[in-house]
Structure 1
Amino acid sequence: MPRVTVYYTQNCPYCRMVKAFLEKHGVDYMAIDVGTDREQAKKMVELSGQYGVPVTTVDDEIIVGFDAQRLNQLFGTAREGDIYDVLIVGAGPAGLTAGVYCSRKMLKTVILSENIGGQALESWAIENYMGYRMVTGEDLMHKFEEQVRGEHIHLELDRVKSLGKEGELFVVDTETGATYFTKTVILAQGKRPRKLGVEGEERYLGRGLSVCSTCDGPLFRDKVVAVVGGGNSALQTAIEMSKIAREVHLIVRSTIKADEAYVAQYERQGNIHTYLHHSVAALHGNAMLNGITIKDRESGKETTISLDGVFAEVGWIPNTDFLEGFLRLNDQKEIEIDINCHTSVPGVFAAGDVTNIRTKQIITAAGEGAKAALEAYDYVARSE
């Protein structure tokens, strides 16, 4: 049995997924909380070159992030040959809700997703989901997951590579080499973080540049950080990081466009320095990021800031690359659906932020997931 160590932080949902995956497959491991142990955090950075979690070591191999493909290759078992009534892509609010509704309709259901929770995991605080005065994204998605685990649903951590059709069945291939056959498909794979679009971005990702503040925030205690963005996610991150970091620089491309509740909290923080109408012009550093240059979009003046980390909160891109040419997408690469979650391909439904619905909220995504599941049930019933 290989020696496995997981470096994690308490609030990191992807760390929890690594540990859950290992436990599911009976793999013994040592867990080290680098959010509270600075010496171990330093060791992790020296070992991996990463200033982000999770980091997993398997003997001499280092796995950065929640790499479902590699973990499946090392420890997983492929599930093939079954024919499902419904295959759901994505395990965020829409996908998990769809799974529960499908299960309650006695449909043979499998959910394929790179993670459990989707975009909601990035939320430090959710204050508009009914039944909760305030809940973190991780805690809310954990409740969703608990309910799904109580149903007769196969939940597999994997990335979908392609979707096609053979005869009456849809065929789904994954990055780990598994193939699934299903009568219907519900697409609920959400979106991924938009990049800053600055040279050197890939080089510094995990080396001071982060797209998951809930995961990596604790590693920047008493340090200087920047948050790029002006929406709800950016302000949430700036507020939470102001309680962890010594100093926070908020870089906003135009003006702040966030809910008043977040604006009020942000204005009460004394260690947030705000730059309106600024964009990131350059990233600086050697092995690790140690500074940025920002540009005033009105005057053209550039300012260089020395810092330890940058959190990018500049929006999201639909995860629809594998659907190009298979069904209809709009100009933003979102899946076009009708009022009943039907796509342009009969038998394929879609729900949540990956679609062209205007309102992108957790509660509406969950509702759309329920609608898509009921439509899939009707489709299967009419086909038999």
Structure 2
Amino acid sequence: MSTDWDVAVVGAGVAGLSAARVAAGAGLRVVAYDRMAPGGQLVNLTSVHDHPAPGETADSAGLVSRLVAEAQAAGVVMAFDEVTRVRSGTPVRLEAGAGAVTAQVVVVATGLGPGRLGLPGEEELVGRGISTCAGCDGPLFRGRAVAVVGDDEWTAEEALELAEVASAVTVLVPGEPRWDADRARRLAAAERVEVLPGVRVTALRGEGVLAAVVVETAGGPRELAVEGLFTYVGRRGPAGLVEEVPADAAGRLPAEGVGAAAGTVLVAGDARSGAVQSVAAAIVDGTAAGEAAVAARRAAAGPAPGGSASAAAPWLRVVDPTYGVPADEADGAVPEGGGADWTEVALFSNSKPNATELLRGVGDRLQEHWGLAELGFASKPNASAAADKDVIDWLAQRYKVVLVAVGD
């Protein structure tokens, strides 16, 4: 059955962009949906802590730009729309604001929703004192008292960032803090930060804007006069997004059983039940989901036409030095020209984002007519960039026929 996309990724955060890049790099038609802008939670942060290694800090905007650029260079199409429902079947059907589309494989990488306490009047105060982004809204509370609710490393970092602008920061920890010793030391050394463990927020005060919060402590209720409240608890996953797939208590989707319940639907990143919530983990998880999506498409496509088990291209294999030559070719076994068969064909595009449509439109027909088990592909990053001499030499040596696409 004809489908709009080979792979549709719901959510263009760290995990989603990683999954989309891997799938598109394998020659699949990939779209990545995001309701507003790519980057996920990173767009709400000024810096990413413990990345790329523990104790190190990375610029959030720079990391987002790199992930988006890599995905688009691989051929991923970015769609700014909200997917409201994923319906099981073959193919899988996605319902979005702009209309329904179909895909052979769907990767759910929505992450988690904003933190919520579940208290009366809370939603009315969002944007009027209640926030989930210190980097975004912290400057609005310069010289004012604020509170932060949470118990993890993210909570600690947000509190430390707020301490640079707020007059006082009270960290309300529902149980015991889970942040590391270094963050505990930094919080203790911050003059304007007070940490209150074992407290629970029970009520919000304010008419139109937040004025105070009521907390339950071991010594009884206590009212804190704060103009800002930053909540990092109660974040929920995409429960109900995928038809017939149950969610855990936090609304996250279990990776096991998703395939059986909803066709080829994968879950990656924070949306997955049991996921470790860190940038490094999201990259690893998204990469694995992208590889699983490629494997699923290969399994569904079957062996290459006329191919033996040894030829074994599950569908038209794409050999692409501009993205990474497959492992079996990285050992120097590339023919040095002169012995190529006439059925050895390559495509060259002047723009990597055009690659997937080129491969599907021309490549499939070449495979059908000539029984190709492999199709070479190379490209320039964009139309204005110069072609790499090594890539041109590689095409000339390995392939007898090179088809060139020069239009945008």
Distance (whole Å) between structure 2 residues aligned to residue 266 and residue 313 of structure 1 = 17
- Give 1:118 deviation, angstroms: 1.8
Q: Does 1:376 align with 2:293?
A: yes
Distance (whole Å) between structure 1 residues aligned to residue 233 and residue 249 of structure 2 = 19
Give the structure 1 partner of residue 254 of structure 2.
336
Identity %: 22
Within the candidate set 271, 295, 305, 1:354 is matched to: 271
Which SS does the other structure have where 1:261 is aligned? Answer: helix
Give the structure 2 partner of residue 231 of structure 1.
152
Q: Does 1:117 align with 2:28?
A: no
- Give 1:123 deviation, angstroms: 4.4
Please say if residues 191 and 316 of structure 1, whose CA atoms lie closer than 8 Å, have aligned partners that are also in contact: yes
- Give 1:131 deviation, angstroms: 6.4
Within the candidate set 218, 224, 229, 1:310 is matched to: 229
Stretch moving more, 243-252 or 132-141: 132-141
Output one character per residue of 1:138-160: Cα deviation in whole Å (capped at 9) or x when no partner: 43223212222323111112211
Q: Does 1:92 align with 2:13?
A: yes
Give the structure 1 partner of residue 65 of structure 2.
142
Which SS does the other structure have where 2:18 is aligned? Answer: helix
Please say if residues 235 and 250 of structure 2, whose CA atoms lie closer than 8 Å, have aligned partners that are also in contact: no
Distance (whole Å) between structure 2 residues aligned to residue 194 and residue 227 of structure 1 = 11
Which SS does the other structure have where 1:183 is aligned? Answer: strand
- Give 1:165 deviation, angstroms: 4.0
Stretch moving more, 302-311 or 83-92: 302-311
Residue ranges of structure 2 left out of the alignment (5+ in a row) = 302-408
Give the structure 2 partner of residue 127 of structure 1.
49
- Give 1:279 deviation, angstroms: 1.6
Q: 1:131 to 1:314 in 2, by over 3 A?
A: closer
Which SS does the other structure have where 1:192 is aligned? Answer: coil
- Give 1:342 deviation, angstroms: 5.3
Which SS does the other structure have where 1:316 is aligned? Answer: coil
Which SS does the other structure have where 1:294 is aligned? Answer: strand
Please say if residues 10 and 83 of structure 2, whose CA atoms lie closer than 8 Å, have aligned partners that are also in contact: yes
Give the structure 1 partner of residue 107 of structure 2.
186
Q: TM-score, normalised by structure 1?
A: 0.72
- Give 1:328 deviation, angstroms: 4.4
Distance (whole Å) between structure 1 residues aligned to residue 93 and residue 17 of structure 2 = 21
Q: 1:156 to 1:182 in 2, by over 3 A?
A: same
Distance (whole Å) between structure 2 residues aligned to residue 268 and residue 367 of structure 1 = 35
Distance (whole Å) between structure 1 residues aligned to residue 277 and residue 250 of structure 2 = 14
Please say if residues 119 and 192 of structure 1, whose CA atoms lie closer than 8 Å, have aligned partners that are also in contact: no
Distance (whole Å) between structure 1 residues aligned to residue 159 and residue 177 of structure 2 = 12
Which SS does the other structure have where 1:111 is aligned? Answer: strand
RMSD value, Cα: 2.3
Give the structure 2 partner of residue 160 of structure 1.
83
Within the candidate set 82, 88, 91, 1:169 is matched to: 91
Q: 1:255 to 1:285 in 2, by over 3 A?
A: same
Larger of the two Rg values belongs to structure: 2
Q: Does 1:215 align with 2:168?
A: no
- Give 1:82 deviation, angstroms: 6.6
Q: 1:129 to 1:315 in 2, by over 3 A?
A: farther
Please say if residues 88 and 187 of structure 1, whose CA atoms lie closer than 8 Å, have aligned partners that are also in contact: yes
Please say if residues 169 and 183 of structure 1, whose CA atoms lie closer than 8 Å, have aligned partners that are also in contact: yes
Please say if residues 337 and 343 of structure 1, whose CA atoms lie closer than 8 Å, have aligned partners that are also in contact: no
Q: 1:382 to 1:276 in 2, by over 3 A?
A: closer
Q: 1:316 to 1:271 in 2, by over 3 A?
A: same
Letter in 1 for 2:27: M
Letter in 1 for 2:116: K
- Give 1:85 deviation, angstroms: 0.5
Distance (whole Å) between structure 2 residues aligned to residue 264 and residue 138 of structure 1 = 28
Give the structure 2 partner of residue 9 of structure 1.
none
Please say if residues 343 and 350 of structure 1, whose CA atoms lie closer than 8 Å, have aligned partners that are also in contact: no
Which SS does the other structure have where 1:281 is aligned? Answer: strand
Distance (whole Å) between structure 2 residues aligned to residue 251 and residue 138 of structure 1 = 29
The 5-angstrom pairing of residues 225-374 of structure 1 reads 225-296=146-217, 298-299=218-219, 301-323=220-242, 325-338=243-256, 344-374=261-291
Letter in 1 for 2:75: H
Q: 1:259 to 1:155 in 2, by over 3 A?
A: same
Output one character per residue of 1:301-354: Cα deviation in whole Å (capped at 9) or x when no partner: 22222222111111421122222x423434443222249x95643421111111
Which SS does the other structure have where 2:58 is aligned? Answer: coil
Give the structure 2 partner of residue 34 of structure 1.
none
Count of residue correspondences: 298
Which SS does the other structure have where 2:270 is aligned? Answer: coil
Which SS does the other structure have where 2:74 is aligned? Answer: coil
Q: TM-score, normalised by structure 2?
A: 0.68
Letter in 1 for 2:222: T
